[in-house]
Amino acid sequence: MIFMYAPIAVLIFFSFNNSKTTIWNGFTLKWYEALFNDSNIMNALGNTLIIAVLASLFATILGTAAAIGISNFKGKKRLIIQNVSNIPIISPDIVMGVSLMLLFTFLGVIFNFEMGFFTVLIAHICFCVPFVVLNVMPRIKRMDQSIYDAALDLGCNQWQAFYKVIIHELMPGIFSGLMMSFTYSLDDFIITYFTRGAKFQNLSIEIYSMTHRRISPKINALSALLFLAVLVIMVLINLRDRHEEKVRAEKT
């Protein structure tokens, strides 16, 4: 645990250092101020947040629908489809990045478009959907089908029963999948690098390009803020899971 979190603690510590070197020279917030005054970083941050929000929303909708569809299959068919849906999770990012780049390049020649914002968005949706499926499937397995049938018997139509029963029961898994998708999209570098084209820039690409020049302490400040954002998301997921466990325990 020390080896995991000590570098992050050092990074956060030196983000408040008044010196550009690793020698402590007093406390300062000037690197955070310089970070927010850097137009390139702010534009990259905006692109990153837009991609992460849109990708996580679309991936959550598609992943939830896919999980419900997979659950309708029985036996070997369901097992095969579920394993296929997990392939993007276990595949190396560079394999997925290169394969998507080749696909977008091929389609770009046919339909005359260049890689950029929309190709990155599609790529992020592709690798986020399996994480939503992974979070929703266990909730489907624990769901009592008789509740849905009871809602129909009590006068709900199929859409009302679907929304009030199925979606309500799956909401913890849907929320976890949404937060996980947002986190992975926010953090991605390799797939974005291969599918962004020549003009699109997000935070991970901007940080990578900054390391080619003299490393600025603004990278420490930016990395500290990203770590804080991911930490908050993971805390929210854990709090949600604990709340659900508490509610489930009270019901039993």
Question: Is the Cβ–Cβ distance between 176 and 237 less than 8 Å?
Answer: yes
User: Which of 125-129, 166-170, 188-192 bottoms out in mean pLDDT, i.e. has the lowest?
Assistant: 166-170
Assess whether pLDDT exceeds 70 at residue 219: yes
How many helices (H) and strands (E) are present in the chain, helices listed first?
13, 0
For 42, the 3-state DSSP assignment is helix
Q: Is residue 148 part of a domain?
A: yes
Report the predicted TM-score, pTM, of the whole model to 2 decimal places.
Answer: 0.86
Altogether, the residues listed in the chain come to a count of 252
**Domain containing 157 — which CATH number?**
1.10.3720.10
pLDDT in tens, 25-49: 888 899 899 889 999 889 999 999 9
Question: Is the Cβ–Cβ distance between 119 and 196 less than 8 Å?
Answer: yes
Assess whether pLDDT exceeds 70 at residue 251: no
Q: Is residue 223 part of a domain?
A: yes
Quote the pLDDT of residue 65: 94
pLDDT in tens, 86-143: 888 888 999 999 999 999 999 999 999 899 999 999 999 999 999 999 999 998 888 8
Sequence-separated (6 or more) residues with CB below 8 Å from residue 13: none
Q: Is 188 exposed, middle or buried (0-12, 13-18, 19+ CB in 10 A)?
A: buried
Q: Is residue 153 part of a domain?
A: yes
Q: Is residue 184 part of a domain?
A: yes
Number of independent structural domains in the chain: 1
Assess whether pLDDT exceeds 70 at residue 51: yes
Residue 17: strand pairing partners: 27
Q: Is residue 22 part of a domain?
A: no
- Residue of 164 and 93 predicted with greater confidence: 93
- Rounded to the nearest integer, the mean pLDDT of the chain is 88
Question: Is the Cβ–Cβ distance between 63 and 140 less than 8 Å?
Answer: no
Q: Chain-centre distance of CA 221, in angstroms?
A: 22
Q: Is residue 192 part of a domain?
A: yes
Range of the domain at 66: 28-251
User: Distance between CA atoms of 103 and 151, rounded to whole angstroms?
Assistant: 45
User: Distance between CA atoms of 198 and 223, rounded to whole angstroms?
Assistant: 24
pLDDT in tens, 68-86: 999 888 888 888 888 888 8
Q: Is residue 7 part of a domain?
A: no
Q: Is residue 20 part of a domain?
A: no
